[in-house]
Amino acid sequence: MIHFEQAVSGFSSKQEGEWQIATPEAQLFIFSEGSGKKKETRLAMDRLQEVISHHFLAEPHPVLRVRQFFLQVINTAHFELIELATQEAVTGVTLIMVIIQQGQIHWAKVGNGALYLVSGRNSEEYISADNYPRKGTAEEGESQIGDAKRMPTIEFGGPFTLNRSDLLLLCSQTYRTTLGDKALLAGSDTTDSLTAWLKDLTAVVKGRIKPGDSDLKAIALKVSEIEAVTPPPVAIPLDRVGASRTFSSAITLQTRWLR
């Protein structure tokens, strides 16, 4: 299990519980944004949350086929929102999903949100989700989940091993377009308070855009502790001839009781 210092911006107190789902073996972080009216955006977010929660909690943990899981969730959510749009005036949403398990990070991204994985040693050493290949056809404009005109374009990343003090930043694209990558991440490796760093960063961005031009949302996670995971001992059955047992590592052990 990996523990994080956490900071968020742009979420109400009611929303803060919807961007993280955790089990002892895996953690899922969710960043989503809508572009429609407030009521309809809330309906779309609620339906998206239902789909993600249902699939994640029904999945064995750690998740064995992470990209297959991402694809299944995104495709299901896409058609759920299209169906919802026949009843309500909902619009498409952007989405970033991050799974952290066994000391590694995986992600899938649809739309124009921004994701950065930043080294705790040097803020100029970072990985951006936009540097990784997409699954789908890159068309003009950003795809969204729930866009009835086309299937979502998905950007995948990982797995990458996390180290102490590494930073994960999920944020609105406005942060990136306003400041640029280096200015956006500057100071993340030296700050004593992640909450203060994100608050100052958001204030700078708000000071450079027109009021009401864009909603700003961000989730920042800094690795504070990495617990060593000791696998449980494996008991090999020896009580019958030709006994066999298949383990999660896909290795089948066979034993014979010799008399």
What is the domain count for the chain? Answer: 1
Which SS3 state, helix, strand or coil, does residue 42 take?
helix
Domain assignment present for 110: yes
Q: How far apart are CA 175 and CA 194, in angstroms?
A: 16
41: pLDDT strictly greater than 50: yes
Domain assignment present for 255: no
138: pLDDT strictly greater than 70: no
Domain assignment present for 221: yes
Where is pLDDT greater, at 36 or 16? 36
Q: Mean pLDDT: which of 19-28, 41-50, 235-244 is highest? A: 19-28
Domain assignment present for 118: yes
Domain assignment present for 240: no
Would you say 174 and 148 are in contact if contact means Cβ atoms under 8 Å apart?
no
Across 50-79, average pLDDT: 95
Residue 105 backbone dihedrals phi, psi, to 5 degrees: -120, 140
Domain assignment present for 195: yes
Domain assignment present for 250: no
235: pLDDT strictly greater than 60: no
Structure confidence by residue, pLDDT tens digits, 186-230? 888 888 899 999 999 999 999 998 876 667 899 999 999 988 765
Percent of the chain with pLDDT over 90: 47
pTM above threshold 0.85: no
Polymer length of the chain: 259
Where is pLDDT greater, at 187 or 142? 187
Structure confidence by residue, pLDDT tens digits, 148-184? 888 889 999 999 999 999 999 999 999 999 999 989 9
- Please tell me the least confidently modeled range out of 10-14, 28-32, 232-236: 232-236
Instruction: Tally Cβ neighbours within 10 Å of residue 108.
Output: 25
CATH code: domain of residue 28: 3.60.40.10
Q: What's the domain range around 158?
A: 2-234
Domain assignment present for 173: yes
Residue 2 Cα to chain centre, angstroms? 15
Mean model confidence pLDDT for the chain: 80
